[in-house]
Amino acid sequence: MLNYFNTFGNGNCFPIPSDCRGASNATEFTRQRDKIIDAIRLINADILGLIELENDGFGPASAIQDLVNGLNAVMGPATYALVDVGVSNLGGDAITNGFIYKPSTVEIAPGTVPAFLNTGELTQGPGRFHRPPLAVTFRQLSTDATFTAVVNHLKSKGSACDPADNDPFQGNCNGNRTRAAQQILTWLATNPSGSNDPDVLIMGDINAYAMEDPIKTLEAGGFTNLNSPNSYSFSFQGQWGSLDHALANSSLNSQVTGSDKWHINADEPVILDYGLSFKSPSQQSLFYSNDPFRSSDHDPVIVGLSLTGNGPTEPTAPVVVSTSPANGAIGVPRNTQIILTFDQPIQKGTGTIILRRRVLPILDTRTTDIATSPRVTLDGNRFILTVSGRGTLLNRLTLYDFTFPAGGVTSLGGSPLANPVNFSFRTRFD
């Protein structure tokens, strides 16, 4: 979209009151809104990634809720719903990214959470460059199949950046966009939404053409550009190219039925847009229609998927991938924490942890109730136990046996740990 703001006039907009964009008054906004709603109605997608939304949250008066309200008034009640990210502002810019979807066909996958990246190159403090990428895992109701969609909007070629990041051929901020692409790949490798399914679709305004470094970085990271390098989605000073892309990773690529760019904007003259400025009253009427043409400045990218059900129909049990200390470790600090890392996000289960101090002839045993102990904490896919021996430390040069019970944790979908976890370690002297 092109700056979808449902508040007008400097001092009234979010999150930067002086940075109002898009329609300058209610009349222009109605013209803009009608065109965008008609475009989305005709696309009729189950999931839409949106960019250039006013960054005013997800409440009843937000821009994204206003768009959903307008769509549902035209297409029928509850046709679309928004993804509430749970923050008052997604990033620090005046505009942000978002998702809407059809709850009759898809849902946010159970056990997953919307996630966004706002660190490193994507930091949102002063001097920020990009809008936060937003990742949401959706489940298709008819098949139980899931995939993760990631909507992006990176820094434009005309922005002011460090000269070292500018490129005479790829435009200003090429270095920033390339670093952002690499950090998005790294972030996605951590499974930020908590999905059990590997399928990922990266989409949005990367502000880079198909043969430039940011797109090549995503391709080198295992993603395939679903559109031809010769396709286009934007025109600038009489030249056409594609700043907008959809890229699928290897597991999703075989499930793509097609991808195309609907040329409703790039081919159309600016005079057809919603704006009233520099048009006479007769031109405001003559050149305007509440149809999809010139509803924005970029063409939408439309992707078809036939998901094959890689998403599990039943929650899978968590599996331990590492322990700290490792089994057989020696020289473990006496003030250590015991950490179990699992293959997926977890929640507390039930049962008793046993930490046995092997001092013959007596085995000194201490127990911890998982459900109630204040020494138990969770951090995503990590279970953390703060241990204590006599006083507050483990004993010196002592062999300990650790037993974690089956059912001590569960997946977010409720599937319990199937087998106990046992390992031993020895503390150091100091």
Helix (H) or strand (E) holding 252: helix 250-253
> Is residue 137's pLDDT more than 50?
yes
pLDDT tens string 162-172: 999 999 999 99
Lowest mean pLDDT among 7-21, 182-196, 199-213, 280-294: 7-21
> What pLDDT shows up at residue 253?
96
- Higher-pLDDT residue of 9, 398: 398
> What pLDDT shows up at residue 58?
95
Return contacts of 189-194, CB within 8 angstroms, 24+ apart: 191/344, 192/115, 192/117, 192/135, 193/109, 193/112, 193/113, 193/114, 193/115, 193/135, 193/136, 193/137, 193/148, 194/111, 194/112, 194/113, 194/115, 194/137, 194/344, 194/345, 194/380, 194/412
Whole-number average pLDDT of the chain? 92
Average pLDDT over residues 69-82: 97
pLDDT tens string 399-412: 999 999 999 999 87
pLDDT-based confidence at residue 236 (cuts at 50, 70, 90): confident
Residue 176 token pair:
């920033």
Collapsed DSSP state (helix, strand, coil) of residue 122: helix
**At a CB cut-off of 8 Å and minimum separation 6, what does 361 contact?**
none
> Is residue 135's pLDDT more than 50?
yes
Residue 419 token pair:
């087998």
Q: Are 140 and 101 in contact (CB under 8 A)?
A: no
With tokens 């031109």, the residue in question is: 283
What's the CA gap between 54 and 96, in Å, rounded?
Answer: 6
CA count, 13 A, side-chain hemisphere, 107 = 10
DSSP 222-239: TEEESS-TT--SEEETTE
What's the CA gap between 245 and 80, in Å, rounded?
Answer: 23
> What pLDDT shows up at residue 237?
81
Which of 197-206, 340-349, 421-430 has maximum average pLDDT? 197-206
**Could you tell me what percent of the chain has a pLDDT over 70?**
96
- Phi, psi dihedrals of residue 42, rounded to the nearest 5°: -75, -35
406 class by beta-carbon count within 10 Å (0-12 exposed, 13-18 middle, 19+ buried)? middle
Residue 15 token pair:
């999150």
What domains can you pick out in the chain, each with its CATH number? 26-305 (3.60.10.10), 320-427 (2.60.40.1220)
pTM, to two decimals: 0.71
Q: Are 394 and 355 in contact (CB under 8 A)?
A: no
**Could you tell me what percent of the chain has a pLDDT over 90?**
79
> What pLDDT shows up at residue 129?
86
Average pLDDT over residues 180-197: 94
> Is residue 361's pLDDT more than 80?
no
Average pLDDT over residues 271-300: 95
